[in-house]
Structure formats: structure tokens, C-alpha cells
Chain A
Amino acid sequence: MSKIGNAFKNGKAFIGFLTAGDPSLEDTLRFMKAMERGGADLIELGIPFSDPIAEGIVIQEADLRALEHNTSVDDAFHVVEEFRKESDLPVVFMGYVNPIFNYGYDRFFHKCADIGVDGVIVPDVPFEERNEFADVARTYGIDIISMIAPTSHDRIKQIARVGEGFLYIISSLGVTGTRSEITTDIREITSLAHEVTDVPCAVGFGINTPEQAEEMAAQADGIIVGSAIVKIIARYGSEAAEPVYEYVKTMKQAAARAGK
């Protein structure tokens, strides 16, 4: 098992997302450290893409800010390389397939292993296409994080069986972004998945309040929060480290209340 398992040893996991290079690479590094201080168990670092079709407006705009100064795949690696000088916290990349394909799968996963990126989430590569890079990722010991959606139904077990690192349970239909209400029966999805795998399940999409954090954490092994953090970064820019720390701390505590 990869280092990602460690993220779930400390009660309900809190996974925080941010986009590399938003608003600058130095800021991203400082925000990652702030998230770790706030109690984040794993960091999901977004590689910006020009056309992120699974993202709501908040993360779309973060990608555009990062691309204004041409944040590249190598820049994202560089941030992790700097972060690794002080931290062993598990880190996964979230990136659309085209920049990774363009970089070259072998070169990309090799570098993940060298620098200490533990897993990769690619939202536009579903189960059917995972052979695109599954073999290469395995060679270098990098986990491919699979996603399960409210519409997955009979696909849940099929996906869970090949699960690595953690399973990303999408809480709601639609794109990323904060929501006032989440109606999907997450517990049902996680229990189906756990019938065939020991890989932990983390739920994301729409979670932004401590109440939601507690409620969602109760139904899964961890929660993923993206747009709410990116909103804070959009609002405070380079001054976001402290508010990000405070927010992550509150959310981690709320998730922890859901117990193990």
C-alpha cells in the first residue's frame, strides 16, 4: 500500500484541494503548508488546464489565473519538490489527461515517483480508459485514484475492485462547486465499494460548511474540499495562507467529530 493509506489512519481524513500556480507557485507552496498545519491529511494539487470540463466556475477561474503565467506540469512538480523538503504528507495530482499525455506518461509517472507525488486523479479518464496509463503508473508505484458517481450504480463494484489509494466518491451530479444540499446516499455507495475493497472512500463535490463536513464524513472515510478553499484563495490572494489554515482546521475538526 502506498503512502496514501497514512492519510486515513488519523480518524476521518480531510483532503484539501488547490490549483498549482494560483495565484503564484510560491503562494501555492505556502498554502499547502498552511493546510498541513490546519490538519489536512492529504493534499490534492490541481494541474491547471485550459478547458476543465468537470469543474464549476470557481476552479475554472483558478485554472485561468494559473495559466495567465503559464503554470506547467513541471511547475506543479516543482511545488511538490519544495514541499517534500519539509513534509511527508501524502500528495496527489488532479489533472486533465491532455497535459499529462502531452508530457508523456512514462516521463510523468517516473517524475511522480522521483519527487514524491503519491497518486493521480484524472477526471476525464474513466474506468474504460484506465489502460491509457495504468501499466505505466503501476511500474512506478503511483496510485490511480478512481472516481465513483451518483450515476455509477452497477459500475461501483467494478471500479472499486481496481481501486488504489482511495476511491473518490462524487457526492452529486454536476461539476465541482459548493452546494447547499447533498442528497445522494453516500453510505450506500461506500458500503457497496467496501464489499469488494479495503481502499478507503473519500467524498467530495459541494462540501463547504462544517455541518456538511461532519455529515459527509459520517458516511465515508474522509472528505474532499476544493472549491471552498479555492474561493478563499481567490478572495485573499497572496494573503490567503492564514484564512486557509483557519478554514482547514475548522473543517478537519468537524470531520473528526464524525468519529471513526
Chain B
Amino acid sequence: MTEGRFGPFGGQYIPETLMNEIHRLEKAYNFYKHDADFQAELKDLLDNYANRPSLLYYAKKMTEDLGGAKIYLKREDLNHTGAHKINNALGQCLLAKKMGKTRVIAETGAGQHGVATATAAAFLGLECEVFMGEEDTKRQALNVYRMELLGAKVHAVTSGSRVLKDAVNEAMREWVSRVDDTHYVIGSTMGPHPFPMMVRDFQAVISKEARQQILEKEGRLPSAVLACVGGGSNAMGMFYHFIPDKDVKLIGCEAAGKGIDTPYHAATIAKGRMGIFHGMKSLFCQNDQGQIDAVYSISAGLDYPGIGPEHAYLHESGRAQYVPVKDDEAVEAFEYLARTEGIICAIESAHAVYHAMQIAPTMSRDDIILICLSGRGDKDVAAIARYKGRDLHE
């Protein structure tokens, strides 16, 4: 059994052509993880370029309105490029540079990880190509242009169902074709080891800050920590430093699309089964023949048929709980947060906001809920307007 397992999950299920490169990456990552100079350089980038630490914001009006637990929002939406994705993109691009790479490739769903990677690549002087499902290039046309402005080349992927999983397939095919000078910046806590661990470590800054911030503000730990889950990077980042705090509930909110009893969802924990895909053993939405399902969510960022192996393990071990949230519920929370707090969040993050709205009133005023607001919602405004029947185009 290989390194990098979380219980039975994880591993390195990829073509032989990539194995030496994966080992090289593993070695480089293990070295720089403990290298004080690298860590200082990354911290400087995060603080002075990406706007860290991000705020831990007390949502007073939401708290009063819901009349239960005290609600705090971890404002990853205020990061440069508008989402948590920049934490990982800067980390991996810096690592790629140290490894002597001159080019990075990335997959993207909503476009947030593509924008973050294009940004980091522009800033660090790396060539950048982004693979995006053709469907998503239409849903998120603004982000395509944004990446192009940043100097990246965007490939509209026309294979398969033309969404996030197909973008990952195509990025892997590209990496197999050109591996010497190229690093593949995987955007979530998925793929072969060391990616799930490495992406988690780059995102763990979220909970490192949040844990310290809540102790400073409230002098105690939260009762529950919530985050939305697609592949699982903002959730792993938000959960990580709370894992040893056994009394802190960790709750991941996955995309139930039109409902988990319809074929139109991306709720991997609720409906998936163990399988092996995209380099990892984990849980996947698949049919009875082991063919990967074409999943669905209103949110392009959660529209993925699998989940990171560490989440599969947190689920199996009972340490974290995962709940499905439907499109219309996420849209309701999206609107609610805008009206109550004046914050337009990403439709992905709205999945977590919705669940908080459900549980907060059932909890006591001594309880604290922390929600990871993983991104801002500018990118979603036109799509939500269309969902509500307003013919608005970017």
C-alpha cells in the first residue's frame, strides 16, 4: 500500500508515465513543507499579495434573525481573486517554481481555481493553461475572459459531459503528454497522493487563523464548523485544525442539485460508493457498472462526482458529518445573506449558509457556528438571475 492513505482511501492510481513525476513532487513537497525559507516566502505572498489573514466576521443580524447560535463567517471571499482557491494556487505555483517548472496547467469548474492559478502564474512568471468544460465556459464566461486577461490560455473541453470531471481528465492527459517542464496544479483535495494532503496543507491556513480568531473573540471553541464540499478543499482547510477538538462538530454541505432522489445531484457522500478514479480510492457517484456518473449542481464548483479521500475518511470514521443541500435551498441562502448581511457569497458557499440557517435556531445562544464563506458571488449573479427567471446576461 502506498503512502498518503486516509484509512482505506487515497493512494496513487495513475498511469505509469506520471509515476516518477509524482514521486519527485512528493519529495519536493516533503522538503519544502519543513523549509523555513519556503514557508516564509509563502506567508509573505499570502499576507501581502492575497490579503491574509481573512476576517472572521460576526454575522450579528443573521444571528439575531435566526435566534439561536452565534454565527461567524470566515471571509475567504475577501481574498485576492475572491475565493479560498488562491491559498493553494500560490502554494503550488511557488513549489512548481522551486522544482524548476516553467509551466503550469489546471482544471477549473466555476473558474475560481483557474483564475487563482492564472493569477499566481502571472505573478510568479509561469506559463499557464487552464482546462474548463465547454458547458462551464458558457456558464462562467466572465471567468474565461478574466483568465485570458491574466495571460492564461483557456481550453474549452469538449469530451464527455463537458464539465469539471472532463476538465480533470483533459488536464491529466495534457500532463501525461508534457511532464518535464509542467506542473499540474490540482485545485482540490483530490487526485493521487501527495495532492490531497498538499492541497489540504496549503488550505489549512483557513482553520489555523479561524481557530485563533474565535479564541481571541470568544475565548472558546465553536460548537460547529460548516463548509461546502465538492472535491473538498475549502472544507478540508476549514476543518483541519479543528479535527483534534473532539467537541467541535464538523459539517460538510454537499450539492443535492434537484434532490438526492433524482438523478440530478452531486451528493457523493449521500449517494456515492467506494471506487477508484482520478488517482484516488474514495467515494464516487457511479452507476451499477462502475461508470462515473454525470453529476449536476447549480454550482459549477461543486459539480464533481467524487470527494477528496480525507473527507471520505472523516465521514467513515464519524469525525465529520455531511449533509445534502439542494439548488433552491442554496439560492434561498444566497439571497438571505445578501439581504441580511449585505454579503453576496458564492453559490457554493451558500450551501453551507443554508445548513447554518437550519441548525442555528435549534441551538442555544451559547453555541457558536463558524461558516467558511469560501468565495464571493459576483460570478454567480447572472446565473442566479436566470434561475429566478430574469433574462440577464453578463
Contact = CB atoms under 8 A, between A and B. Distances in A.
A234 interface: no
Contact of A175 (B177, B277, B288): B177
A148 B290 CA distance: 26
Contact of A151 (B166, B179, B289): B179
A54 B20 contact: no
Contacts of B14: 124, 126
A98 B17 contact: no
B275 A98 contact: yes
B13 A170 contact: no
Contacts, number: 117
B16 A127 contact: yes
Identify the interface centre among B12, B21, B286, B289: most chain A CB within 10 Å of its CB. B289
Contacts of A57: 159
Interface residues of B, number: 38
Nearest to B274: A101
B176 interface: yes
A168 to B, nearest CB: 9
Interface string A147-181: 11111111100010000000000100111000000
A147 B15 CA distance: 8
Nearest to B290: A102
Given A129-B11, A155-B20, A173-B176, A53 B286 contact: no
A99 B17 contact: no
A115 interface: no
B16 A148 contact: yes
Contacts of A128: 2, 12, 19
A159 B16 CA distance: 10
A150 B180 CA distance: 12
Contacts of A97: 13, 276
A73 interface: yes
A149 B15 contact: yes
Contact of B292 (A98, A131, A154): A98
A73 B289 contact: yes
Contacts of A127: 16, 19
A126 B160 contact: no
Contacts of A72: 289
B106 to A, nearest CB: 16
A103 B286 CA distance: 13
Interface in B270-306: 273-279, 284, 286, 288-292
Given A60-B159, A99-B289, A53 B17 contact: no
Given A51-B277, A173-B177, A175-B177, A99 B15 contact: no
Interface in B313-361: none
Nearest to A56: B173
B20 A152 contact: yes
Contact of B19 (A70, A102, A126, A173): A126
A123 interface: yes
B15 A98 contact: no
A53 B13 CA distance: 11
B198 interface: no
A123 B179 CA distance: 17
Given A51-B165, A125-B13, A129-B11, A152 B19 contact: yes
Contacts of A73: 289-290
B172 interface: yes
A98 B160 contact: no
Interface residues of A, number: 43
B16 A149 contact: yes
B213 interface: no
Contacts of B19: 126-128, 149, 151-152, 155
Nearest to B292: A50
Contacts of A67: 291
B354 to A, nearest CB: 30
Contact of A147 (B1, B16, B289): B16
B169 interface: yes
Contacts of B177: 173-175
Interface string A55-88: 0110010000001001011000000000000000
A8 interface: no
B292 A51 contact: yes
B178 interface: yes
A49 interface: yes
Nearest to A122: B13
B289 A175 contact: no
Given A127-B19, A147-B15, A98 B290 contact: yes
Interface in A10-67: 49-51, 53-54, 56-57, 60, 67
A49 B291 contact: yes
B276 A98 contact: yes
Nearest to B19: A126
A98 B284 contact: yes
Contact of A51 (B18, B20, B21, B169): B169
A126 B292 contact: no
A79 B382 CA distance: 51
A51 B160 contact: yes
A103 B289 CA distance: 7
Nearest 3 CB-CB pairings of A with B: A102-B290, A174-B177, A99-B290
Given A102-B286, A146-B16, A175-B173, 6 more contacts: A57-B159, A98-B275, A128-B2, A129-B12, A151-B20, A175-B177
24 contacts: A51-B160, A51-B166, A53-B169, A53-B278, A98-B275, A100-B290, A101-B274, A102-B275, A126-B16, A127-B19, A128-B2, A129-B11, A132-B276, A147-B16, A150-B17, A151-B16, A151-B21, A155-B20, A159-B16, A173-B176, A173-B179, A174-B173, A174-B176, A175-B173
Interface of B: 1-2, 11-21, 159-160, 165-166, 169, 172-173, 176-179, 273-279, 284, 286, 288-292
Interface of A: 49-51, 53-54, 56-57, 60, 67, 70, 72-73, 97-103, 123-129, 131-132, 146-155, 159, 170, 173-175
